[in-house]
Every structure is written in structure tokens, then in C-alpha cells.
Structure 1
Amino acid sequence: MDKKTVFFLGVSLVILAVMLYLVGIDQVIAALKIAKLEFIAIAIAMQVFTYYLYTLRWKILNNLVDIDVGIKKLLPMVLVGLAVNNITPSGRGGGEPVRAYLLSREENYPMEETFATVVADRALDTFPFVVLAVLTIIGMTLTFNFDLWLLILMVVAVIAIVIILILIIYMSINPNFGARVDGWIIGLVRRFYKKNSDELEEKIHGVIRGFQDTMKMVISNKNVLYYALPLSFVIWIFEILRVYFVFLAFGASVSPVIIGEVFILASLAGMIPLLPGGLGAVDGIMIIFYSAAGITASISAAATVIERLISFWMATILGLVILPYYGSSVLDKISLGSSDEIEEHSENEE
């Protein structure tokens, strides 16, 4: 973990500590003391099952392109990817190149194929998120008294996500547009890399062609529509139900609709690239809006602390514990933060 990431984690934890102080740490501790452990245990079990569902969806996509790797091998990679997403201020995208790199290195598959399945996996996660985000913006506009700037910010964020998703899909099915993207990337290469540019350009051509071919296979396969996409909606349902059980642990009966709205809003805040995993921003938004929904501030803060321990810190700790198994070189590649650099370094190792 580099110094920059440690700094951001420290700042985010300080922000969370200040929020808890404003709510009243003694009140939060009192609320934690009355929590029913059986409901918290259910929430933890649901989160563990969600890890399995993440892995199952990725396995389905891998099988479509003849990457035959079992869940036992994929699950640790998923956890490492989640941990990297949480500890890097990268807009929750730093773990995907690392996950693709691990699968490529450990199982000897081409990087462009493993990266394409990871991108497809992330895109499938985006579909239900966009649907729920649109419903959330509509619902919360009616439920809460939003400032206009916040409403505009949420709408812009959702539109940006949709545009990126459309561009990735369009690039995969339209050769001409893919060629334009290829040319744009080559232009950047020629601008910043003067040495051995011909070799690097040929490598980029090969990666983009392999990525397009793999994405075409994934998108056109009916199993994506029948299995992987519905599984994405199931995953989001489990995410919301987990929060519901956390509130039940504190004796607070909160509408799953309200939980879903706040959860999606907090997820949008978690995409802010300045904060690892949205620490501070996510916690603060959850506390503020749960309180606005009629839950006492102490219960809102206590439930948020438990929820983030389960959803954020559990994945982070598990992933970081597993990470040394893949070697110290992976730690170096995390700090690179670029799929191109990861691939280049993996080839150098070979």
C-alpha cells in the first residue's frame, strides 16, 4: 500500500471520526450495546454469500470464452479485487485490472481475454445500478428536500456511467468505432512514448482486437441475458437486504425502499475518485439520510458503522490477507493503477 493510499485512508477515517463525534460517540456506543448479534450474523452471512454470487457471475462470463477456472480459484481473486478497489482512490475501478492480471498470470490465459471478462462483469453490475439509480433519484426527489446542485450532480453521475457503458459496448460491436478508439490510443502512445513505439503500437492493436472479439462473444451469448444479468439484480437485492438486517439488529424497522435509495446514493458518492472506497463521504451520506428518514442519529450512525465494517472492511481485510499469496509483485502493480502497465510488467516477468 503506497503512501498516497495510506494518507487518503487516514483522512477518510478522520472524517468518519468527526461525524461520529458530532452525532455523539457515547450515544453511538450505547446503541451498539443493544444490537442483536443474531441479525448482525445474518448480515455477515449474506455478505459472504454475495462474494460467492460475484464469483459465480464472473465464472459464467469466463466460461463463455472458454476460460475454465473453478470458483475456489476465482473467489480469492474477487476478494483481492474488492480490497484493491477499497484502498485505492480510483473511483472503485483499480481492482479490475489487478483481478484480470491475476487470472491471466495464475491460469495462463491472454490478458486481453481476462480483462474483457472483467469489464463485462463490471458492466453487468452497472445495469441494475443504473436502473436503481434512476428510480432512486425520482424517489428521493419526492421523499427528501434536495438542493438543486445535489440533484444535478446525481443526474450527471448516472448519465456519465450510462455513456461509458454504451461506449464500451459500442466499441465491442462496431469495428469502425473500435478502430477509432485504437487510433486515439495509438496517438497518445506516439505522443508520450518515443522509444520502441512500433512494438508497443502492435501490442495495443492485438490487445484491442482480442478485447473486441472476447466482448462480442460475451455480449452475443444468451447465457448473459438468462443467467448473468438476472444474477446482477439478485446481488443488488442481497446488498440492500444486508443493510435491512443491520437495522433490525438495532430494533429499527426501515423500509427496504428507503434503504435502497440511500444505498444507491451512497454508492454514487463512493465513486468519488478522491476517497478510497468512498470512506467518509459514503458514511456521512448514509448517516444524514437515514436520520432524515426518521431514524435517530445514534441508531443511524451505529448501523452505518456496522454496515461499513461488513461491506467495506471485511472485504478489505480478507483481500489484503490473501494478497501476499500471489506474491509481492502484485503489490507493486496495485500502485501502478493501470491495466496497460500491469500487462507490460506481466510480460516482462515472463
Structure 2
Amino acid sequence: MDKKSAFFIVLSIAILAVMLYFIGIDKVIDAIKDANLAILGVAILIQIGTYFLYTCRWQIVNNIADINIGFRKLFPIVMVGLAVNNITPSGRGGGEPVRAYILAKEHGYELKETLATVIADRMLDTFPFIVLAIITIIATVLYFNFPMWLEGILVLSVIAIIIILGMLIYMCVNESFGIKVENLIFKLTHRFYKKGSDNLKMKIHENISGFQDTMNMLISNRKLFYYTIPLSFLIWIFEILRVYVVFMAFGATLNVIVIGEVFILASLVGMIPLLPGGLGAVDGLMIGLYSKAGCPAGLAGPVTLVERLISFWMASIIGLVILPHYGSSVLEKISIGNSAEELDKSISDES
């Protein structure tokens, strides 16, 4: 495991310890003692079901791309990807290239092929999230009675999401626009990364081309669209349902719509690439919004912490336990930022 990943694991544990200190370990223990453990068990089963849905969706994408890998072999790769995403800042998205690399390395496919299915899988998760985020932000402005300046920021966020989504779709169907975006990204990144400019431009071109190819595949393949979009919405329903069940276990009554709004907002904050999995910022926001929505302040902290233990730490622990099976060099190779050709060569050499 590379030094950066080890650092973020230690940082995650440190943030958890700080949260326990401020919330109060005694309060958390008392709340868990009073909780219905059977209902908490249901929440854990829902989370495990979410992992299975993630794997099913990726398997569908892989099958359409003629990568016929069984569920049993894909499931541990999915768990490793989730763990890597959790232990790295959200903006890094380290779990996706790790998934692609492991699938290519273990089953003899080209990295470009496996990376395309991972990008497609990621985009399928993004579409319902954008829809839910727009609805949630609008509902939040109406429900939580935020200050005018904050409401303005949320409204602008809705507009920005719509514009970005429109640009992404247009970029996929218009090759010349994609080239313009590619040149713009290169100019921006070149200011901060002057060494190896040719290699940088090649990487950007690979990513943009892969994105365009993947989106074109999504648009042209009705089977993929019909099966996976509903599955993606079902995954988000499972995520929100898990939170609701955790509240039920602690005897807290909170509207499921409010829980969904808070969860989507927290997910938006979790995308800020500052902390691993948004840890700390996400938890603090959830506690504050749940308290504002009517959950007792003394209960909002323990409930949020237990929910994050199920949603964040369970995937992290399972994935990190599985990771050594694929070799300690996986994270090191991905973190170096090699091009697809270099990683393909690395896979061939290891084989």
C-alpha cells in the first residue's frame, strides 16, 4: 500500500476518534444499548444488499461490453473499489481505476476495455444522483428555511448541475466540442503540471475519448439503459432506506423524505476532495440537519455515527481485507498516475 493511502487511513481513524470524543463515547454506548439490535441488523442487511446491487449493475455493463465475468469474481473487486474511494479524498476517485486495473490484471482483458465499463458504471450512478440532488436542493430551500444567501447558493447549484449535465451530454455527441473541452482542460492543468506536458495531454485525451466512447455506448444500447438506470435509482433508494431503518432502531421518528434530503446534501458535500470519503464534514452536516429537522440533539450524533459505521466503515474494512489478495502493488501503480498503455504493459509483464 502506498504512503498516501496509509496516511488517509490513519487520518480517517483520527477523525473518527475526534468525533467520538466530541459526541461522547458514553452517549454513543448508551444509545446503542437502548437501540433495537434486530432493526440495526436489518440496516446492515440493506447495506449488504446495496453492495450486491452495485455488483449486478457492473456485471450488466461488463456483459454488454463482452467482458463475461461472474458475480462472485466481480463482488470482491467492487468492495475493494468502495474501500479505496473511502480512504482517499472523494475528488480523487481512486476506486474506479483500481477496479479497472484489477479486472484487467486478473482476467486478461485490456485496461481500456475494463476502464470503459467502470466509467459507464460510474456515470449510471451519476444520472439518478443528479436528478435526486436537484429535487433535494429545491425541497431543502422550501423545508429548512436557510438564510437567503445560502438559498441563493443552492439555487445556483441546481442551475450549475443542469448546465454541467447538458455540456457532458453534448460533448458526447459532438466530437469537435469534445476536442475544445480537451484543450481547455489541458491549458488549465498545464499551469500546475508543467513537467511531461506531452504525457499529460495524452492522458487527458485518453480520458475524454474514453468518456465519449462510453457515453455513446450508453446512448446507443437500449438494453443497458433500460436495465441499469432503474437499478441505479433502486441503489439510491436502498441507501436512503438504510438511514431510515437506523433511525427506527434508535426509536427516532423522522420523515423519510427529510432523511433523503439530508442524505443527498451530505453526499454532495462528500464529493468535495478534501477528506477521505468526506469524513467529518459529512457527519457534521448530517448531525446539524437532523437536529434542525426535529431529531433530538443528543440522539442525532449517535445515530449518525452508527449509520456511518455501517455505510462507510463496513465497506472500508471489507475492501481493505480483500485488497492483499490482488497484491500490494495495486494502489502503488494506480497512484503513480501511469497512462493506460503503461499499466497494460505492467499487467502483461506480471502475467
Q: CA deviation at 1:86?
A: 0.5
- Bigger mean CA offset, 289-298 vs 109-118: 109-118
- State how far apart, in whole Å, the 1-side matches of 2:57 and 2:144 are: 35
For 1:247, the aligned partner's letter is F
1:77 match: secondary structure: helix
Match of 2:104 in 1: 104
Q: 1:68 to 1:90 in 2, by over 3 A?
A: same
Contact 2:43 2:242 in 1 (8 A): yes
2:281 match: 281
Cα deviation, residue 100, structure 1 = 1.4
Q: Which moved more, 1:46-55 or 1:67-76?
A: 67-76
Change (3 A) 1:12 1:243: same
Structure-2 change in CA distance of 1:237 and 1:67 (3 Å)? same
Question: What is the CA deviation profile of residues 120-174 of structure 1, one whole-angstrom value per residue up to 9, with x for unaligned ones?
Answer: 2111111111111111112111221213444344445555555554444433332
Q: Which amino acid is 2:196 matched to?
A: Y
* Distance of aligned partners of 1:278 and 1:342 in 2 relative to their CA distance in 1, 3 Å threshold: farther
Cα offsets for 1:59-104 (capped at 9, x unmatched): 1111222111111111111111111111111426221111112222
1:243 aligns with 2:246: no
Give the distance between the partners of 1:260 and 1:275, measured in 2 at CA. Answer: 23
- Deviation for aligned residue 1:117: 1.7
Q: Which residue of 1 aligns with 2:346?
A: 348
In structure 2, give the amino acid aligned to 1:107: H
| Kept in 2: contact 1:8–1:276 (CA 8 A) | yes
Instruction: Determine if the alignment matches structure 1 residue 325 to structure 2 residue 325.
Output: yes
- In the TM superposition, residue 254 of structure 1 has moved relative to its aligned partner by 1.6
* Identity rate, percent: 60
User: What letter is aligned with 2:345?
Assistant: E
Segments of structure 2 that go 5 or more residues without pairing to the other structure are none
Counterpart for residue 145 of structure 1:
145
**1:326 Cα deviation (Å)?**
0.8
Structure-2 residue corresponding to 1:193: 196
Q: 1:108-187 residue pairs with structure 2 within 5 A?
A: 108-181=108-181
Report the CA distance shift for 1:170/1:23 in structure 2 as closer, same or farther (over 3 A).
Answer: same
CA distance, structure 1, for counterparts of residue 118 and residue 344 of structure 2: 17
For 2:31, the equivalent position in structure 1 comes to: 31
Residue type matched to 1:242 in 2? R
8 A Cα contact 1:113 1:211, kept in partner: no
Whether the 8 Å CA contact 2:84–2:316 is kept in 1: the answer is yes
Amino acid across the alignment from 1:271: M
Aligned residue number for residue 231 of structure 1: 231
Q: 1:108 to 1:205 in 2, by over 3 A?
A: farther
What stretches of structure 1 of length at least 5 have no aligned partner? none
Shift of 1:347: 1.8
Report how many residues are paired: 345
| Aligned residues of 2:103 and 2:109 also touching (Cα < 8 A) | yes
- Whole-angstrom CA distance in 2 between matches of 1:87 and 1:265: 20
Q: Deviations over 1:97-117 (max 9, x none)?
A: 111122222222222222222
What does the per-residue CA deviation read over 1:164-223, in whole Å, with 9 as the maximum and x for residues that have no partner?
5444443333232344455567877896427xx5x9978986776566444422321111
User: C-alpha separation between the residues in 2 aligned to 1:82 and 1:157?
Assistant: 26
Asked if structure 2 preserves the Cα contact closer than 8 Å seen for 1:31 and 1:298, the reply is no
Q: Normalising by the residue count of structure 2, what TM-score does the alignment of the two structures yield? A: 0.86
- 3-state SS in 2 of match to 1:322: helix
What's 1:256 paired with? Answer: 256
Distance 1:332 1:342 in 2: 15
- Return the alpha-carbon distance in structure 2 between the equivalents of residues 132 and 75 of structure 1: 26
- In structure 2, the partner of 1:58 is 58
Kept after mapping to 2: 8 A contact 1:85/1:93: yes
Residue deviations 1:264-285, cap 9 Å, x none? Answer: 0110110110010000011111
Aligned equivalents of 2:60, 2:255: Cα separation in 1: 33
Amino acid at match of 2:343: H
